[in-house]
Amino acid sequence: MKRIACYSAALAVCLLPCLPAVAQDYSGHTLVVGTWGGDIERLLREHVAGPLEARTGAKVEFLLGGSGDRMAKMVAERNRPTMDVTFQNIYEAPAALQEGLVVAPDAALVPNAANVWPGMNDGCYAMSLNGLGIAYSKAVFPETPEWADLWKPELKGMMAYAPYPSSEGDGMLGVAARVAGADEHNPDAAFAKLAELGSPKLSYSSLDEVLSLMDAGEIAAAPMISGYVLSNLQNYAGIGFVFPKNPGPVLVRDMVCQVANGPEPELAQMFIDLALSVETQTAYANELNFGPTNSQVTLSSEQSERVIDTPDEVASLLQLDWPYVIAQRSAWTDRWNKEIMGQ
């Protein structure tokens, strides 16, 4: 009996470091997470918020909306934030860190951050990988199009864009610049080339709206983020999606950030750690077609084909000079309004 007690004690001592650092009871605490609605919220509830609530006793509250709203909230609440975790896009995360609105990524606080592909935790923790490709109407393009095919004269005025400023709009400017033989540092070339496509038929606020019109052939094509389109293709037989090759698709990355001076820093770190875990990242890839950032994730070969999930694939993507692009935001918005929308 004494021996059993000794073994038990020894086992307990050995296992102690392996126990999750969540033994503390967080009952009565509320973690506020700002994110996008729809499937992303559902997935985060299932794979992150649910397990975190079960383990800690804390409550997770989601604030749904656009990432611009969340940036605005962080700036407005700079001295006394009410949000603990926020999901931002690839260009907002470094800007938020530069402004001191978020905590710099730290694998000592968020262990799964060490498993993220090197170099991707830029500003915040890299949550998912996507590419800006071409969603196209199969009635208009019998063969998969390249970026340059969008400039066919008969397609003038048949494009759809997301409201600007956005990753899609900036990405398309980067592509147009390269089709014109320049890059985003030459905005005159970018805007002039993009203007050749004509005023878009639609500036869409809803994915269903643009996909329905594309399915019917009313819209020829739209630059769209891969995950959103691929998850919807099964509903629209007349729509295809392609990652073009010349130039490659534009890299778009969702980031998850710990808000600086947020009320619940420990819960925020646990939430982010769960979000970066193999399980959540695998679900993101399989259910949303968002590429995982966790290098430990193994996808089926079929699913791996659909998403961006390796550093080699990332290297093949077109990466914009986001700090430069952000610095041009106001001026480019005016130019987009006048030269692209207001033709």
Partner 1 sequence: MKPTVTALLVAPAVVLMFGVFLLPFLFLVVLSFWYQTPGSLSLDTNFTLANYARILGDSYFLGGLWTTLWLSAVVTVICLVLSLPLARWIVRRAGRSKGLLIGLSILPLVCGALLPTLGLVNLLSPLGFINGLLKSMGIIKTSLPLLGNVLGVAIGLVQAFLPLMILPLITAIEGIPVDYEKAAMSLGAPRLQVWRRVLLPLMLPGIVAGSLLVFCASLTAFVTPQVLGQGKVVTFASLAYQQAALVLDWPFASALAMVMLAFLLLAGALGAFVTRSLARSA
Query: Which of 166, 289 has the CB closer to partner 1?
Result: 166
Q: How far apart are CA 275 and CA 256, in angstroms?
A: 8
Instruction: Please give the backbone phi and psi of residue 284, each rounded to the nearest 5 degrees, phi first.
Output: -55, -45
Q: Where are the alpha helices (DSSP H) in 146-186?
A: 167-179
Burial class of 252 by CB neighbour count within 10 A (0 to 12, 13 to 18, 19+): buried
Least Å from the CB of residue 108 to partner 1: 28
Angle at 321 between CA 134 and CA 124, to 5 degrees: 90
Query: Which of 70, 178 has the CB closer to partner 1?
Result: 70
Query: Which of 66, 311 has the CB closer to partner 1?
Result: 66
Least Å from the CB of residue 171 to partner 1: 15
CB 206 within 8 A of CB 160: no
Q: How far apart are CA 301 and CA 281, in angstroms?
A: 16
Angle at 85 between CA 123 and CA 77, to 5 degrees: 90
Query: Which of 196, 334 has the CB closer to partner 1?
Result: 334
Least Å from the CB of residue 338 to partner 1: 5
Least Å from the CB of residue 298 to partner 1: 38
Query: Which of 93, 270 has the CB closer to partner 1?
Result: 93
Least Å from the CB of residue 223 to partner 1: 15
For residue 37, give the nearest of 28, 45, 29, 47 by alpha carbon.
45
Query: Which of 92, 264 has the CB closer to partner 1?
Result: 92
Least Å from the CB of residue 245 to partner 1: 30
Contacting residues toward partner 1, per CB under 8 A: 66, 68-69, 71-72, 75, 95, 99, 101, 163-166, 199-205, 209, 212-213, 216, 218, 326-330, 333-334, 337-338, 341-342
| Cα Rg, the chain, nearest whole Å | 22
Instruction: Please give the backbone phi and psi of residue 93, each rounded to the nearest 5 degrees, phi first.
Output: -60, -50
